[in-house]
Every structure is written in structure tokens, then in C-alpha cells.
Structure 1
């Protein structure tokens, strides 16, 4: 559609050129090029970019802090009651909603960024429009197009580009303005290049700040209450540990006393046993001294008992004798059997000889 409109416009211009006494003068500008070469616009854009970066950093920091709080809440969820968990989760959700609201306020369709961009570019656009009007009236241009606008320009010769003329006009006008209003220029330099938001924005920010302050006070009270509850639990746990330590110390002392009593009892019993043993030994010595003479006299008549080694040796010798006797009996029986077999063989041989003799005798007869 735009191409058709442009085509019809060019045809109309050519027709008008054919019928007019003078040629139609056409020019165009490149608004993007002009803006990039206006010092005031570049400086204001740089400052606005810095503000945008600060806003982004601030939002990112807040979102990271919220994510960290979420992780800490997840890690501590097993230690918290349901009420404390829900309360902290509600606080985190509220903070996250505030950050998202702040992000929308800065970067939304009607946010500060869009407002300040419009406020930044509108004065430059007014200057461009005024410069184009001045040049068109001076140079007798019939049409001036904007190359960076929605108009489709399939081809444009550089000799029709008046962007540099517009830039020179804006610069010249700016210098004249600076020369006439030095005091105002100094005041403007001290102010921000990008103006503040409207009064409605300020009121909304004030309301948000008040709401945030009230919420922070409420959160501080709840946080103090939670800290007090945690401190009470800690004190109770310390008291319980102290009671357990005291109980363990009492048990240890009791066991130690019992061991000491047992040791004393054993020592007393040992002392009594030692005394009894001493008395018995003394009595035995006395009795042995009395009976020593008679024991010496009778010792010659009493046979000395055999020792264990002598008894074992006697048993071993007895076993050897029994084994030798059994071996001899086996040899005797073997010799007897051999003798009997020999006699039986001789008897059979003798019978065979007799039978042979009888057979020979019968044969001779």
C-alpha cells in the first residue's frame, strides 16, 4: 500500500513538473543520522543509558536477594512450623511483587523509560522540524521526506539529502540560544538532562514508599517475635543440656563412690585374710617343729612314692612287653601253619608216588 502511494505521488510530481514553469524541488532527511550527530541528544542518551543500567542492576540485585531468601526458606522448611513458613513465604511473595511492580514502573509501556525517551526526543524533533521548515522556505523545496520514517524510498540520490543542512541549522540555532541565555544554560547544566516523571508518578511512588515502610515495620515486628521465639527455644535447649550434664555427673560420682567402697571392702577382707593366714602359718610352723623328730624317725620306714615320670615309663615298658608277646605269638602260629602245610604237601606227594607205583604194578601184570 505504501509503495502504491509513493508511486502515485511520484507520478503526480512528474506530471506537475511537466506542466509547471519551474522544476519541483524535492529533498529528504535522515532523522537517525541527525540525532546521532546532535551533541545534546548524545549526552542525554548516554545519561539515560546509565540510568537504565542502574535500574536494571537494582532490579537484578533485588531479584537475586529474593531468590536467595527462597533457597534459605526451602533449606529451613524442615525446622520451621507451618505458621512461620507461611509467614516468611508471604513476606517473600510480597517483596517479589514489589520488585515486579517497580520493574513495570521503570520499563513498562507507560514507564519512566518510555516517558523520558519521549521527553528527550521531542525537543530535538521540534528543532529538526523547525530547521526543515526554515530550509524548505529558504531553498524553495516543495517536498521534504524523512528517510527513517515509514515512507518506502527505493532509491534516493545523495544530492537531495539535506540532513547536513538541518544539522548546521540546529547547531547554529543552539549557539545563538546559548549566547543569549548563558544564565539559563548554566542552570540547565546543573539540572538533569532527563526531566523527572509527572506529579501523578510522584504521588504513586510516595504511596508505594509509605506502603513499603508500613510493611517493613510489620515485618520487623514479626522478625523480632520470631527471633525471640528462637532465643527462647535455644535457652530451653541449653537448660535441658545442662540438666542432662548434671544428671550424668551425678551418676558418674555415684559409680565412683561405689567403686571406692568396694575397694575399701576388698582391702579390709584382704587384711583379715592376711592376718588369718599368718596365724595359721605360725601354728603350722609350731606343729611342724614339734612333729619334726618323729617324722625324721619314721621317714626311713615309709616307702617313697613313684613319680609321674616313673609311672609313665613303667606303663610304656609294659606296653612294649605286651606288644613283643603278641608278635611272638603271631610268629609261632605262622610257623605252625607253615609246618602243617608242608606236612600236608609231603603227604599228598607220598600218596601220589604210591598211586603211581600201584598203577605201574598193575600195568606190568
Structure 2
């Protein structure tokens, strides 16, 4: 009896292990170069370092021009100089050339000032990035996270596995938190939770994208209406000024009936064209909004179908594995029973 109980206990542990393994490995990657380019402190310090490097290059170029002048002078005066003076000048030129080469190596060599200062500049940001990666990996259960810009060869990387923007958000959050009040901090935390939820749920991210596009379309309609209203107001002001000038001219007996009729026709044409443009802008916005809604529904349906299919396959696989384990346990139990 004790043997049977032990065997059933081991079979249950094996079944749980198989179920845990079906979760799969979660992999992500970052682009360190992209992250560094979007960190303000790093870009400012990098620009300062580039200016310093440019100054070093100018110094090297100035020394090279001075050496070239000495060479040209020696070439021009060589016929008039003694051998001792020629050797002396050539030795001086050689010394200056070696000195300039040593200076270049000191500034731009493999272990030069430029490489060392770049390393010192990037290290604090890299440390912050590694800390942010560890936090994201622990919070979202990543098994591996790679660096796309390193020596690791990535023949293909799907964009959905790129967590570079998440890392940037973590870095920016840390910097912002130090400058926020308690109320602002609470609002920022709510915004962060919303961003994290969209990272985990593609359907929610698509929905938010659709809402943003809808808001942009609505803002465009409002802006177009405002523009049309401003144009109408401008035309009204111009017309008012014209009427006042015509009234003044009429008092003086200089206004003509034909000019008044022509101005009325112009006003009618402008108002008609403005109304047509307004209607067309509204119709275009409604059509675009309907197309976006249809596309969102279609994408959402596809995502749900794919997820349902994946869950069904996973469930079927787990059931098959459980059935196999049960069958093996039953056969083993039967063998033990027959032996006893």
C-alpha cells in the first residue's frame, strides 16, 4: 500500500512538471544604441565630447600643416644648405612627425582619451538600463533578454519582443518621480499602470491606438470648423468695412450700382464654396472613422481567434500528456499488483 501511494505521489509531481513546462520560454530584446540616443543626459554629454574631439582633430591638423611648411622650406633651400644643416632640419621634422603621431594615438587610439571618455560616459546609463531590465524581467516573467546592438547575431527579431521603449519609460519614470508632488505622483502611477497593461495586452493596445486615431480625427474636424469660422469672420469684417466705405462714398455721391451688385455676387460665391468645403471635410472624417472602426473590429476578431486556437491546442496537448501519465501510472500499478 505504501509503495502504491509513493508511486501515485511521484506520478502527480511528474504531471505538474509537464504542465509547468508547457508555459514555454519568454524572450525579449533591447537596442542599447536606440535607448542611449533617447536619453537626454547622454546625448548632451555626447555632443560635448564630440566638440572636444573636433578640437583635438584641429590641433592635429595645425601641427601637420606646420610640419608640411618646414618640409617645403627645406626642399626650397636644400641647394643652399650644408649637409650638417640639412641633417639637423630633417631630424627636427622627424621629431615633430613622431610627436604628432603620439598625440593622435593618445587622443584617438584604441586606448585613447576618446574611447575611455565614451566608456565613462555610457557606463552610468548602462547601469540604469541593466537595473531597469532586471525589474521588467522579474515583473513580466522574461527568461532571456538580449541586446540587439551587441556582438550577438540576431538574424531576425519580431518587433513585438522589443522592450526598448519599456526600458526608456522606466528610466524616464525614475527621473520624473524626483520632481513630482504627491498628487502628480499618483496620476503618474495610474498612467504607468495603464502603459504596463497595454504592453501585456495587444488587444488593449490596439483599442487605445484606435481611440487615439479617433480623437485625432475629431480634433481635425474641430480645427477645420474653427478655420472655416475664422475665414467667415474675416470675410464678414472685410464686407463690413466695404459697406462702411460704400456708405461714406454714397454720401459723397461717388458709389455705383454696378459695383454694389458685383460685390454681392462675390459674397454669395465665397459663402457657397465655404459651405461645400465644410460639408466635404465632415463627410471625409466620418468615412475615415468608419474605415478605422471596421479595421479595428477585424483585427480584434483575428487576435481573439488566434488566441482561442492557441489555448485550444495548449489545452489539448496538456490533456493528452495527462492521459499518457495516467495510463503509464495505471500500467505500473497493475504490474506491481500482479507481482504482489
The two structures have a TM-score, normalised by structure 1, of 0.42
Larger CA Rg, structure 1 vs 2: 1
The two structures have a TM-score, normalised by structure 2, of 0.45
Higher RCO (C-alpha under 8 Å, 6+ residues apart): 2
